[in-house]
């Protein structure tokens, strides 16, 4: 099936998530743009949200839900054809693990994680400038444009950007540091660049023009200044899903996969003809495409696993009201505490435990702490819940690594043949795919064959077809967090079904269900694609 979305498909072959600091530098970027930008449907939703959020914060809205929903959908965003992310990818899946499992702060991969990856990239670039240049530096500034400026406050774009500029790596930045930035907005933080130490505050992250002739709706510039003179400047784009590009960006060269595939049926043929295990095939492809060694790949997956488990463990101990107008109280710690005296029996306790893990990481995402896209920030609670529950079963780390590879294969197939974006395909594309990945991961990690792995993935995805994206007040909290809990439980259910049934008797194969998701995404009413113009987003009235 043709890809629904060139944008989504293209990112599979262009490394927007690259942290490289060795790429070509670019000319100075304009600090202001002139012509009005075309607002995307999503941005349009955000504008409507910003307006309604101010009403909500001021008191209970008297507006009828139907009135908030009665907004026309805006046009598709006009993206520059020069962006790697808009260049259509044809041929075999070329996505790498590092592009797929991206680490950084929630709650939004495009508005929080992407900006932090950008400023951390800029920090690394300027750190390598000659000492005499750095000795003259007086300031680091970041300008946010377009949607980043319009909606960045609510997403915590400023604190994520400041953390990266201060040299905090997105994968390892402690939650307390991010919380501190939010709690003490006027505090100055020191950053050392060669011989120079600069003081930075949140005021160095500037909410600039929301409209203009931008390369991408999520544009930002970073500058190293000496007084009013610019020593170094680069224009960046947070192109979605945590992927980043910059002016003059060239996708890195990649090798050809050893086992090229676009669909599950081709994968299956290799597994049978070449008698190769699924995890081994994916490992071989990863090494061929990324050029990494096996050791590097295991180290990366172990880091992903560690970040996920740390996130769940933190979420299970912290109780708080989550940021934003919903005033949602966290549940994970409460569920975990109550488990100790639970009389629900073995099944009830097992379900509660898995659900609490999903809540824990979903709540961490809402707090703006470090998460891993799997496949997105909104669905980031599912795979950590699976990893944590596999740890409970004392599953060896190598089996968990194999599970990560199987889960990635499912995510790649969905990305390549449909979409991973709630803005394009509703929540089936985020939580649905995450749950499908989880089913495959459990089956792989617990030693099932490829047919059961594929059937578990299919079963979980099938259970989510048609699920809409309707986040209340535009915050990735309701229904997102609870859906992560359900997504994880459904992963286990899908594994249980697939491992107990006769695998040969499953009537629907994975490719068929992915195609059905693509078709459903295409025909889904735009109100249900992350615009917050339909569903729960307009049914729930906040006071």
Considering the complex, state which of residue 289 and residue 524 has its C-beta at the smaller distance from ligand SF4: 524
Through-space distance between the first and last CA atoms of the chain, rounded to whole angstroms = 45
For 472-488, b where at least 16 C-beta lie within 10 A, e where not — what string?
Answer: bbbbbbbbbbbbbbbbb
In whole angstroms, the minimum distance from the beta carbon of 314 to ligand SF4 comes to: 20
**Of the candidate residues 324, 378, 450, 534, the single one contacting ligand SF4 (CB under 6 A):** 378
Q: How far is the CB of 430 from ligand SF4 (least distance, A)?
A: 4
Identify which range of 40-48, 112-120, 440-448, 466-474 contacts ligand SF4 by CB under 6 A: 466-474
By CB under 6 A, which span of 130-138, 169-177, 336-344, 467-475 interacts with ligand SF4?
A: 467-475
Comparison of 206 and 431: residue with beta carbon closer to ligand SF4:
431
Q: Classify the C-alpha dihedral 99-105-110-115 as positive or negative.
A: negative
Residue of 206, 222, 427, 472 that binds ligand SF4 (CB under 6 A): 427
Of 471, 176, 478, the C-alpha closest to 327 is 478
C-beta of 101: minimal distance to ligand SF4 in Å? 17
**Residue ranges in 380-532 assigned as alpha helix (H):** 382-392, 397-417, 422-425, 431-445, 450-462, 480-500, 510-523
The whole-angstrom separation of Cα 328 and Cα 326 is 5
Neighbouring C-beta atoms of residue 295, cutoff 10 Å: 8
Binding segment (CB under 6 A) for ligand SF4, from list 240-248, 266-274, 425-433, 449-457: 425-433
Closest to ligand SF4 by CB, 251 vs 315, is 315
Interface with ligand SF4, residue 113, by CB under 6 A: no
Task: State both tokens at 387.
Answer: 């990893």
3-state secondary structure (DSSP) of residue 104: strand
- Specify the 3-state DSSP secondary structure of 196: strand
Contact 62, 198 (CB under 8 A): no
Residues in contact with ligand SF4, total (CB under 6 A)? 14
Q: Which stretch binds ligand SF4 (CB under 6 A): 130-138, 218-226, 426-434, 490-498?
A: 426-434
Torsion of the alpha carbons at 297, 299, 300 and 302, rounded to the nearest 10:
120
Residue 469 is a binding residue for ligand SF4 (CB under 6 A): yes
d(CA 157, CA 162): 9
Region from 174-182, 273-281, 337-345, 470-478 binding ligand SF4, contact rule CB under 6 A: 470-478
Nearer to ligand SF4 (CB atom), residue 152 or residue 434 = 434
Prior bond to 271 cis, omega within 30?
no
Instruction: Please state the closest distance from residue 326 (CB atom) to ligand SF4, in A.
Output: 13
Q: Is 288 left (phi over 0), alpha (psi -120 to 50) or beta?
A: alpha
Chain mean position to CA 267: 26
Nearer to ligand SF4, 363 or 530 (CB): 530
Cβ nearer to ligand SF4, comparing 33 with 112: 112
Is 471 a residue that touches ligand SF4 (CB under 6 A)? yes
- Token readout for 206 is 């500037």
Q: Which of 53, 150, 271, 480 binds ligand SF4 (CB under 6 A)?
A: 480
| Cα gap 401→406, rounded to integer Å | 9
Q: Which residue's entry shows tokens 């498909």?
A: 9
Residue 426: CB minimum distance to ligand SF4, A: 6
Neighbours of 322 (CB within 10 A): 22
Site string for ligand SF4, 505-534 (x = CB under 6 A): -------------------------x----
Answer for which of 150, 418, 431, 518 binds ligand SF4 (CB under 6 A) is 431
Residue pair 468/426 in contact by the 8 Å Cβ criterion:
yes
**Stretches 122-130, 266-274, 338-346, 465-473: which one binds ligand SF4 (CB under 6 A)?**
465-473
Asked if 381 interacts with ligand SF4 (CB under 6 A), we say no
Tell whether residue 476 is a contact of ligand SF4 (CB under 6 A). yes
Q: Is residue 422 within the footprint of ligand SF4 (CB under 6 A)?
A: yes
Confirm if 40 and 148 have CB atoms less than 8 A apart: no
Residue 102 Cβ vs ligand SF4, minimum distance, rounded to whole Å: 15
Count, in order, helices (H) and strands (E) of the chain.
Answer: 22, 9
Nearer to ligand SF4, 181 or 514 (CB): 514
Residue span 138-177 as binding mask against ligand SF4, x where in contact by CB under 6 A, dash where not: ----------------------------------------
Cα–Cα distance measured from residue 101 to residue 344, given in angstroms and rounded to the nearest whole number: 35
Interacting residues toward ligand SF4 by CB under 6 A: 378-379, 422, 427, 430-431, 469-471, 476, 479-480, 483, 530
């Amino acid at each position: 099936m043709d890809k629904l979305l060139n944008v989504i498909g293209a990112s599979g072959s262009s490394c927007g998530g690259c942290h490289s600091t060795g790429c070509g530098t670019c000319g100075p970027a304009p600090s202001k743009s002139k012509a009005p930008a075309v607002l995307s449907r999503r941005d349009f939703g955000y504008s409507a949200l910003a307006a309604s959020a101010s009403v909500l914060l001021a008191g209970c809205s008297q507006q009828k839900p139907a009135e908030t929903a009665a907004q026309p959908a805006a046009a598709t965003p006009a993206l520059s054809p020069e962006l790697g992310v808009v260049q259509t990818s044809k041929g075999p899946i070329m996505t790498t693990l590092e592009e797929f499992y991206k680490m950084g702060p929630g709650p939004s991969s495009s508005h929080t994680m992407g900006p932090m990856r950008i400023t951390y990239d800029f920090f690394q670039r300027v750190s390598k400038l000659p000492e005499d240049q750095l000795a003259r530096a007086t300031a680091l500034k970041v300008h946010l444009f377009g949607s980043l400026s319009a909606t960045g406050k609510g997403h915590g774009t400023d604190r994520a950007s400041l953390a990266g500029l201060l040299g905090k790596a997105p994968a390892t930045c402690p939650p307390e540091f991010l919380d501190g930035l939010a709690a003490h907005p006027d505090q100055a933080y020191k950053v050392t660049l060669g011989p120079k130490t600069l003081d930075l505050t949140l005021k160095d992250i500037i909410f600039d023009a929301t409209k203009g002739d931008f390369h991408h709706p999520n544009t930002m510039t970073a500058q190293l200044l000496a007084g009013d003179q610019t020593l170094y400047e680069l224009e960046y784009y947070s192109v979605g899903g945590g992927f980043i590009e910059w002016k003059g960006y060239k996708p890195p060269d990649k090798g050809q996969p050893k086992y090229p595939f676009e669909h599950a049926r081709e994968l299956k043929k290799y597994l049978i003809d070449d008698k190769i295990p699924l995890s081994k095939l994916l490992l071989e492809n990863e090494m061929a495409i990324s050029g990494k060694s096996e050791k590097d790949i295991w180290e990366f997956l172990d880091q992903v696993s560690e970040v996920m488990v740390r996130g769940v463990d933190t979420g299970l101990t912290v109780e708080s009201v989550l940021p934003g107008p919903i005033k949602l109280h966290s549940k994970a710690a409460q569920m975990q505490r109550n488990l100790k005296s639970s009389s629900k029996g073995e099944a009830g306790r097992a379900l509660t435990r898995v659900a609490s893990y999903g809540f824990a990481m979903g709540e961490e995402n809402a707090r703006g702490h470090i998460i891993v896209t799997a496949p997105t920030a909104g669905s980031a609670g599912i795979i950590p819940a699976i990893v944590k529950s596999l740890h409970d079963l004392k599953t060896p780390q190598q089996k968990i690594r194999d599970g990560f590879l199987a889960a990635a294969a499912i995510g790649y197939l969905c990305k390549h043949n449909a979409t991973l974006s709630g803005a394009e395909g509703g929540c089936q594309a985020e939580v649905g795919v995450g749950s499908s990945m989880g089913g495959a991961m459990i089956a792989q990690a617990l030693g099932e064959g490829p047919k059961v792995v594929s059937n578990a993935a299919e079963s979980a995805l099938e259970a989510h077809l048609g699920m809409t994206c309707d986040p209340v007040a535009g915050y990735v909290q309701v229904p997102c967090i609870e859906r992560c809990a359900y997504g994880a439980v459904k992963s286990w259910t899908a594994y249980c079904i697939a491992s107990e049934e006769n695998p040969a008797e499953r009537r629907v194969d994975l490719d068929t269900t992915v195609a059905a998701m693509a078709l459903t995404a295409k025909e889904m009413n735009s109100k249900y694609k992350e615009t917050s113009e339909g569903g729960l987003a307009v049914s729930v009235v906040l006071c």
